[in-house]
Copies of this chain bind each other. A is one copy, B any other.
Amino acid sequence: MFVEIVAAREELFAGCVLIGLFHLVGGLVKCLPTMTELFPDRLLAAIRAKGSPICVGIDPIIESMPDDLRPSDLIDTRACVDAIFEFTLAVLHLVKDHAPIVKFQSAYFEKYLWEGVEAYYSLIHEARELGLLVIGDIKRGDIGSTSAAYAEAHLRELTTDDEESATPDAITINPFCGLDSIEPFVKVAQEESKGLFVLVRTSNPGSAALQDQKLIDGRTYSEMLADQLRPLSESPALVGSSGFSSVGAVVGATQTHTMQSLRQRLPKSIFLLPGYGTQGATGEMTRAAFVNGQGAIVSASRSILYAFRDAKYTTKHGTNWQKCIGSAVLDMKADVAQFMK
């Protein structure tokens, strides 16, 4: 009898230990970070796989599209959105083997109101299905509670039943309002293993009059902004195994005079460099953004998408717009790949 009781107690004890271990392991698993790779690591792997750090900007401008796709009635929203969808999908297929990442310019979709916005999310889904990483070029930024709503709209993975839509892997944000306007984006980016590119020095001619303003301490406005972003970009939870951060920076490829200074101030940030091609920047102008062949992506939009309006390509390919786009992306790929060495 006594022996049975002891045996039963031992079984009970062993059972309790097992249950305890089960809960302990379960608790540990919950405490571990999710195993999704951080955005910078995914981006760097994609760059290695595709062989060049290029980003194709998706700026679908109906007036510039190939003649056979442009609708006859340019105020027919539905027809325009259908043309944008068809053209963008064709571009995605043409660039997918060469570009690790594409950048959707929200404005050209918003122009067609909610139907354009629906196409934006739908085409991002298509791009991701093709193995492309996607940046949503939305340049949002507002006071904290409002930025939180923008982060939900543009970074949070969709929970709706609509499996044909997706949010981008990263977005551009505008820091004008201050660091507290960026924090809600960082929170969602971290939760979803996504990325941010904060405007630091833009590519347009008029940017100098604001972003190169000299402060009383000798720095430019952009340098001060980079210094403020640095601690955030170096937060351990945001830095991947590659050493690069989920918080990147937008620095115009045209801004050679300040590229090195900004790179030194933001050593862990991936630089998104727009302005290649139509805006006048060359691959050579982006050299200072790279750290040991890594840490930057060079972006071109119109010079790729509308290459069939450039004599350089039409003399070779005639009216075949697909071949013109294909050639333009290969030219850019070769021009920029040199910086990976």
- Which residues of A pack against B, CB within 8 Å? 59, 61, 75, 77, 105, 107-108, 110-118, 121, 139-147, 149-150, 152-154, 158-160, 165, 174-181, 199, 202-211, 213-216, 218, 221, 224-225, 228, 279
Contact = CB atoms under 8 A, between A and B. Distances in A.
A218 B216 CA distance: 7
Given A107-B140, A114-B114, A139-B141, A228 B204 contact: no
A68 B295 CA distance: 51
How many copies of this protein are present in the complex?
Answer: 2
Contacts of A147: 107
A149 B181 contact: no
Given A139-B174, A141-B174, 16 more contacts: A61-B149, A107-B150, A108-B146, A110-B150, A111-B152, A113-B160, A117-B117, A174-B176, A176-B210, A177-B204, A177-B207, A179-B209, A210-B228, A213-B224, A214-B216, A216-B216
A279 B144 CA distance: 11
Q: Which of A61, A75, A110, A160 has the most CB of B within 10 A?
A: A110
Contacts of A108: 146, 149
A122 to B, nearest CB: 9
